[in-house]
Structure 1
Amino acid sequence: MPPPIRRLFALLLLLLCACAQAGELTLDALQRRFQPPLHVQPQLDDLPVWPITSELEPEAGPVGYVFESIDLAPIPGFEGTPMNLLVAIDRKGGFIDVEVLRQHEPVFLSGLGEAPLREFVQQYAGKSLKQEITVSSAYGNTRAGGSETRVVLDGVTKATASVRIVNQTVLAAGLAVARAKLGFADPGARGPTARARADLYERLDFATLLKRGLIGHLRVTHAQAEKLFAGTDGEGADEGALAEPGGTLVDLYVGYLNAPTVGRAVLGDARYGDLMKKLEDGQHALWLATAGRVALIDDQFVPGTPPPALSLTQSGLPVEMRDLVFEHPAPDGAPAFNASGVFRVYAQAGLDPARPMQFTLTLTRAKGMMLPRITHQTVTLDYRPEAALFVYPPEPPPEWLVAWAGRWPDLLAIGLALTLLSAVLARPDWVARDARRLALFRNVFLAFTLVFIGWYAQGQLSIVQITGAIKTLTAGQNLASFLYDPVSLLIIAFTVVSFFVWGRGTFCGWLCPFGALQEFVALAAQKLRVPQMRLPRGVARVLDRGRYALLAALVLSAALAPRLAESMVEVEPFKTAITVGFDRSWPYVAWAVGLLATGAFSYKFFCRFLCPLGAAMTLGGKLRRLDWLTRRAECGQPCQTCRHRCQYDAIERSGAIRYDDCFQCLDCVGIHADPQRCAPVLLYMKKGRTVAPFPVPVRAADARP
């Protein structure tokens, strides 16, 4: 391809990706959604969000924010394209509303329809970003729910992976805004915060607490303060400091009360117990006290507010602390304080009490009588309690791992089935030698594939997974969305491994639910003596090439025209017949039923001639390293028994197996292994001759003549 054309192609690709990940609403459209007294303001310059103000609180500033998820969290969906949700949160991090703007999930486009998805997102209203929000499913939920700090949303049957991605999208976008505009800390940057050990207690006096650093202490003398103000308008403005340079300006004390060793020593056992009852899960209590000429709080202090001259930071980020209005006695052995209080830090602030905390006290001096010039200087107390006082809880698992935990019974059942299938394919002679035994095993396994893997566990692999992966990678995203569908991922992994050992037929012949359904339809048709039609070899070859053309068209459309790909994948009836169990509008049902009906006359017609996923599987089967279907020297020369009985037309006149067309039904293996059905063995027996007890494999010719 010439360089100019390549550059034009790359530019077109970038434009398509940009269009797929851009917000779509205007200010006018948003204002129509939020009626007075609420008003949507113009979008901010530093963040793609629209502030919401209220006529009832004209001086309060924004009472909430509204934004499109695709601007903040363009997480690829199951189909590969990020969905776009309109999310509105209030100034405390509560959800006002969540609305679906645009989505490309196959199960919601024309399968279940968008109604279940819209009902799902309505559950966010009234919930909060301060809560742990997870999604249940029809396969069980491993997380407790129904508390103030943990919420479990009702999932959508047959769309478990998609709604988990919706949840991740809502939370990721909401937290991005909450951290930027609402002061939420980002605990995920360093994992879960430490918790005080309730079982660890030492009875220590106040002096020992100070010596070991369990209570932080900062002393500022007059001389030190004068040095801080040197060269400013505040220099020399404090006559008391000049008169007594060695005297104390302020003694600042800090203690972390959640730790029993500190809390019980400062408050006493009874008041400590009262405090622990008052604190909610994840909240922290700090004891602050001052002595000397500067007080922590004064007569103008408003209870329930932060201390006016003292601030707390951690890792460079501000942490708000508020007066708890908690009366308490002075600690035994402590000096006389001019002020003392208990202050609360809320859970969403993200404070980690086991990490260093910085308490900054602002010192103020005024110079002049009429229009005094005010000067501020700060001093900082670094405080870090002993690490032994804390324990770090295990980091909560990612949402995709929760999905795996919730599906472990299904994964175990499917894993055992795959193990059994592997054992049978590794040594197929015993099962296949008896035709009735093979039919029983195959029909039972295919019934498991159809009912359990397909209709129940929703493990039908689809061409959508290939086109979705292409869209995701084209958009510069990773394939993490595949982790939300553990059953499909397990089957994908097994199928990829099987390519190297047995070829494409392991999936197409044993693990495809729609393929199993087609086989049962064909068996029923044969029982009912429905006339069977074998296509001429030339026609079959032309039709076979058609599935590769479909695959190529789908791959190109996924990369260059994603909207077109969404329609083209409907050539595959898997979603209609398996994912939603024919619960769909009539054109899709008619197409699926029509293909099944065609398979009643022409054995597995769709699988052999139209399936684009089957074409991809065939290409994957090129990785096969073994010719594991054994043959005799007499196979095809002259014996044609297996070729005539193979309903897939996968055996050449020469007797060689065309692995590209083989669905591994094992019929030819059974004939080969059964001396009562293998024609060469029967012939030799009639002539009184014997054949070698072990088959002689010949190299299979995969390429057609």
Structure 2
Amino acid sequence: MRIARTLLRRVLAGGTLLLASLGLCAPAGAGDLAHADLARRFQPPLHVGDKLRDIPAWPITSELEPEAGPVAYAFESIDLAPIPGFEGTPLNLLVSIDRKGNFMDVELIRQHEPVFLSGLGEGPLRDFLAQYKNKSLKQEITVSSLYGNNRSGAGSNRVVLDGVSKATASVRIVNQTVLSSALAVARARLGFAAPADKGPLAEVRPNVFDPRSFAELLDSGAIRKLHLSNADVEKLFAGTDGADVDTEAIAKPADTFTDLYVAYLNAPTIGRAILGDTGHADLLRRLERGQHAWWVASAGRDAFIDESFTRGTVPARLAFSQAGGPVELRDLDLSPRPPAGAPPLNAALVLRVPPMSGIDPASPVRFELTITRAKGSMLPVITQRNVVLDYQAPEALFSRPPAPLPDWLLAWQDRTPELTIIGAALALLSLVLARPRWISVSARRLKIFRLGFLAFTLGYIGWYAQGQLSIVQITGAVKSLAAGAGLKSFLYDPVSLLLIAFTLVSFVVWGRGTFCGWLCPFGALQEFAALLARALKLPERRLPARLATILDRGRYAILAALVAAAAFAPQLAEKGVEIEPFKTAITVGFDRSGPFVAYALALLVLGGLYYKFFCRYLCPLGAAMTLGGKLRLLDWLPRRQECGQPCQTCRHRCTYDAIEKSGAIRYDQCFQCLDCVGIYHDENRCAPIMLYRKKARSGH
């Protein structure tokens, strides 16, 4: 007894010293780096400019291209995508991309993910981040894992990064953080559009070719024409200083002022008809992936370009947009010949958009032509009017790929086998708890089922599927909500979310014991430690009632302190959750530094001497489960009138001290082991039943 009490004092003191030794640090705010920090990382010939005002990113220029403007951008992810991690605090990464949207580097600045703090360490996380180098935002970047690698059916534009075992949810959040922040900068500075904003873009069907004449393409809408007569233009300028300026228009109102033609060229049916086979092939060689080109031509009195136009530049009078978003159209300098059957043209250009402009080639686009008139010769009054031509290439020329699944849904897809197996196990457990008589009336049968299920909980749910629920999920939720970030990060851990949902339902039906007694991997490990202790002939001890009560109430104090710290002192909560040995014993399988392993082993030794010591006296998650168990609607464990009056069989055999002398069940302490249910129905163990049977034989 003295040895056990000494061990108890030492483990409590050791836990306190462990938390103290972890230390505290002041939380860093968003944007940890200054200009000097960036300058040290980007050495000449690269130079870091001042942080931009419209988006928190540093432009990077090069001495080798002094006239090129920024050749890259660097930015901190927390400024652009402060996505809460598993623990509730956003990571901060320094991301750098070049002007084509390729990742130059992704560097870890700070992170608070429990598994990377002192479990696996930051090495695996840094190795994961190194994989982004030379990858492109034009690619679909996903994360593989131990449970599913996403490689089956992957398209040529998909890149699968190697995940980190035991940190599946965390690295998916990291990937979302990297991509979200990088796309924000690419949209603002590189003309990119996030695929998630517009859905999957249509793709040209390269094998679809139907020879058509110019007239047939015009009739089908593959070529669109805007016709403006002189009279039409006069109406545009009516009532302005530009009215009655064009004498020719007034003299010949029915004559053509301009005919504007537009057509999408990437599709072979249109492109080959306008440019010819050789010209279309040359066009496709010049275009980059995701880049689109249009043929624009004009006929009549007015050309959409004039003598001052410089090849390779943007036509000054022509604007281009899709869904209200303007996109730059630049001359490709191809000098296309007039296609067969076309009317006499006064100008024709092949114009292209930037490679990742986000343009959907099968959706409507708008061309806007500016017409200008000047009144007076010395200081002319300039008046401008705009006309629009809406264009949509035929849908039959395109295919639409299926919409990519969001990253969190990919996590669920990857974990389908684990979710199915765990779901089946939960269904079986529900059946047993709903109809416990058959399984529990035989002590041997109950023992086999219980030990088998606990082995499944420890080995499969805990060590393999990483489904150990933890106080970290509560403190992380508090942190996220306090920061106004929501709980989306929970979606990246489907196994835990399934267990959370089941546990919440079980509160109403059975109380707190369903999780603590059957589904907690560390709880199962403690139970096996107790069995080992009995096999080694170590005595099972019970704490003095007063000390047990104090420790039991202390769990709620620990819970309250951690929740308050999560809301008001997040760094303190981050360290305080180490009172749980779950990360050490389950998440990383004891692959951790000495003090943490010693603490976890000491708790298991105590659990061998004092049954489920940590669960019953220290666990803050258990305290939260007990509070959740208050939602229980039914007293579902059967009792007899004789229970406790005078029979005390179940109370003496309850290793959780969950039965009152009166025979009533203390559901707050009950772990639903079903021993008392088995005794209740067993005619060879239930004293009242044995007494009834004895009286029946004696005739009384």
What TM-score range do you get, normalising by the shorter chain? 0.7 to 0.9
Q: Deviations over 1:137-187 (max 9, x none)?
A: 111122558876321111111111111111111111111111112222345
Q: Which residue of 1 aligns with 2:491?
A: 483
Counterpart CA distance in 2 for 1:146 and 1:199 is 22
Q: For residue 516 of structure 2, what is the amino acid of its counterpart?
A: C
Q: Deviations over 1:205-236 (max 9, x none)?
A: 54344344332101334555566678999888
1:670 alignment partner, one of 647, 654, 678:
678
Q: For residue 461 of structure 1, what is the amino acid of its counterpart?
A: L
Seen in structure 2, the aligned counterparts of structure 1 residues 81 and 228 have a Cα distance that, compared at 3 Å, is: same
Instruction: Indicate if the aligned counterparts of 1:68 and 1:85 stay in contact, CA closer than 8 A.
Output: yes
**Is residue 438 of structure 2 the alignment partner of residue 430 of structure 1?**
yes
Q: Which residue of 2 aligns with 1:167?
A: 175
**Is residue 302 of structure 2 the alignment partner of residue 255 of structure 1?**
no
**Is residue 107 of structure 2 the alignment partner of residue 99 of structure 1?**
yes
Deviation at 1:295, TM superposition (A): 4.7
Instruction: Indicate if the aligned counterparts of 1:650 and 1:657 stay in contact, CA closer than 8 A.
Output: yes
**Is residue 358 of structure 2 the alignment partner of residue 350 of structure 1?**
yes
* Structure 2 unaligned blocks of 5 or more: 1-25
Counterpart CA distance in 2 for 1:148 and 1:53 is 32
Counterpart CA distance in 1 for 2:536 and 2:591 is 27
**Is residue 55 of structure 2 the alignment partner of residue 69 of structure 1?**
no
Q: For residue 607 of structure 1, what is the amino acid of its counterpart?
A: C
Larger displacement relative to structure 2 (324-333 or 678-687): 324-333
Taking the TM superposition and a 5 Å limit, the aligned residue runs for 1:196-595 are 205-222=213-230, 224=232, 246-258=254-266, 262-263=270-271, 266=274, 282-295=290-303, 306-307=314-315, 309-323=317-331, 331-346=339-354, 348-362=356-370, 378-385=386-393, 392-595=400-603
**Is residue 654 of structure 2 the alignment partner of residue 646 of structure 1?**
yes
Deviation at 1:486, TM superposition (A): 0.2
Q: Which residue of 1 aligns with 2:90?
A: 82
Q: Which residue of 1 aligns with 2:34?
A: 26
Q: Which residue of 1 aligns with 2:55?
A: 47
**Is residue 207 of structure 2 the alignment partner of residue 177 of structure 1?**
no
Counterpart CA distance in 2 for 1:60 and 1:203 is 43
Q: Deviations over 1:426-452 (max 9, x none)?
A: 111111111111111111111111011
Seen in structure 2, the aligned counterparts of structure 1 residues 295 and 544 have a Cα distance that, compared at 3 Å, is: same
TM-score (norm 2): 0.88
Seen in structure 2, the aligned counterparts of structure 1 residues 154 and 444 have a Cα distance that, compared at 3 Å, is: same
Counterpart CA distance in 2 for 1:639 and 1:81 is 53
Counterpart CA distance in 2 for 1:559 and 1:88 is 32
Seen in structure 2, the aligned counterparts of structure 1 residues 324 and 158 have a Cα distance that, compared at 3 Å, is: same
Deviation at 1:632, TM superposition (A): 1.6
Q: Which residue of 2 aligns with 1:58?
A: 66
Q: For residue 595 of structure 2, what is the amino acid of its counterpart?
A: P
Deviation at 1:291, TM superposition (A): 2.6
Deviation at 1:98, TM superposition (A): 1.2
Counterpart CA distance in 2 for 1:305 and 1:689 is 109
Seen in structure 2, the aligned counterparts of structure 1 residues 413 and 49 have a Cα distance that, compared at 3 Å, is: same
Instruction: Indicate if the aligned counterparts of 1:108 and 1:114 stay in contact, CA closer than 8 A.
Output: yes
Q: Secondary structure at the match of 2:537?
A: coil
Instruction: Indicate if the aligned counterparts of 1:130 and 1:348 stay in contact, CA closer than 8 A.
Output: yes
Deviation at 1:282, TM superposition (A): 4.3
Larger displacement relative to structure 2 (273-282 or 660-669): 273-282
Q: For residue 509 of structure 1, what is the amino acid of its counterpart?
A: G
Instruction: Indicate if the aligned counterparts of 1:20 and 1:81 stay in contact, CA closer than 8 A.
Output: no
Q: Which residue of 1 aligns with 2:11?
A: none
Percent of pairs with identical residues: 67
Instruction: Indicate if the aligned counterparts of 2:191 and 2:354 stay in contact, CA closer than 8 A.
Output: no
Seen in structure 2, the aligned counterparts of structure 1 residues 326 and 151 have a Cα distance that, compared at 3 Å, is: farther
Counterpart CA distance in 2 for 1:416 and 1:26 is 53
Larger displacement relative to structure 2 (533-542 or 400-409): 533-542
Deviation at 1:592, TM superposition (A): 0.4
Deviation at 1:109, TM superposition (A): 0.9
Seen in structure 2, the aligned counterparts of structure 1 residues 148 and 240 have a Cα distance that, compared at 3 Å, is: farther
Instruction: Indicate if the aligned counterparts of 2:650 and 2:659 stay in contact, CA closer than 8 A.
Output: yes
Larger displacement relative to structure 2 (24-33 or 332-341): 332-341
Taking the TM superposition and a 5 Å limit, the aligned residue runs for 1:185-204 are 185-195=193-203
Counterpart CA distance in 2 for 1:131 and 1:306 is 28
**Is residue 663 of structure 2 the alignment partner of residue 655 of structure 1?**
yes
1:114 alignment partner, one of 122, 131, 142:
122
Deviation at 1:20, TM superposition (A): 5.9
Counterpart CA distance in 1 for 2:130 and 2:446 is 51
Counterpart CA distance in 2 for 1:64 and 1:370 is 46
Larger displacement relative to structure 2 (147-156 or 395-404): 147-156
Q: How many residue pairs were aligned?
A: 674
Counterpart CA distance in 1 for 2:698 and 2:80 is 75
Instruction: Indicate if the aligned counterparts of 1:220 and 1:250 stay in contact, CA closer than 8 A.
Output: yes
Q: For residue 425 of structure 1, what is the amino acid of its counterpart?
A: L
Seen in structure 2, the aligned counterparts of structure 1 residues 626 and 70 have a Cα distance that, compared at 3 Å, is: same
Q: Which residue of 1 aligns with 2:638?
A: 630
Instruction: Indicate if the aligned counterparts of 2:27 and 2:571 stay in contact, CA closer than 8 A.
Output: no
Q: For residue 587 of structure 2, what is the amino acid of its counterpart?
A: T
Q: Secondary structure at the match of 1:688?
A: helix
Counterpart CA distance in 2 for 1:432 and 1:125 is 58
Counterpart CA distance in 1 for 2:516 and 2:220 is 69
Larger displacement relative to structure 2 (24-33 or 569-578): 24-33
Counterpart CA distance in 2 for 1:683 and 1:390 is 84
Q: For residue 36 of structure 1, what is the amino acid of its counterpart?
A: P
Counterpart CA distance in 1 for 2:544 and 2:258 is 100
Seen in structure 2, the aligned counterparts of structure 1 residues 108 and 384 have a Cα distance that, compared at 3 Å, is: same
Instruction: Indicate if the aligned counterparts of 1:70 and 1:83 stay in contact, CA closer than 8 A.
Output: yes
Deviation at 1:283, TM superposition (A): 4.1
Q: Deviations over 1:115-148 (max 9, x none)?
A: 1111111211211222211111111122558876
Instruction: Indicate if the aligned counterparts of 2:512 and 2:626 stay in contact, CA closer than 8 A.
Output: yes
Q: For residue 531 of structure 1, what is the amino acid of its counterpart?
A: P
Counterpart CA distance in 2 for 1:50 and 1:178 is 13
Instruction: Indicate if the aligned counterparts of 1:249 and 1:294 stay in contact, CA closer than 8 A.
Output: yes
Q: For residue 462 of structure 1, what is the amino acid of its counterpart?
A: S
Deviation at 1:369, TM superposition (A): 10
Q: Secondary structure at the match of 1:39?
A: strand
**Is residue 164 of structure 2 the alignment partner of residue 150 of structure 1?**
no
Instruction: Indicate if the aligned counterparts of 2:183 and 2:193 stay in contact, CA closer than 8 A.
Output: no
Q: Which residue of 2 aligns with 1:679?
A: 687
Counterpart CA distance in 2 for 1:416 and 1:280 is 50
Deviation at 1:250, TM superposition (A): 3.1
Seen in structure 2, the aligned counterparts of structure 1 residues 306 and 484 have a Cα distance that, compared at 3 Å, is: same
Seen in structure 2, the aligned counterparts of structure 1 residues 435 and 304 have a Cα distance that, compared at 3 Å, is: farther
Deviation at 1:540, TM superposition (A): 1.2
Q: For residue 434 of structure 1, what is the amino acid of its counterpart?
A: S
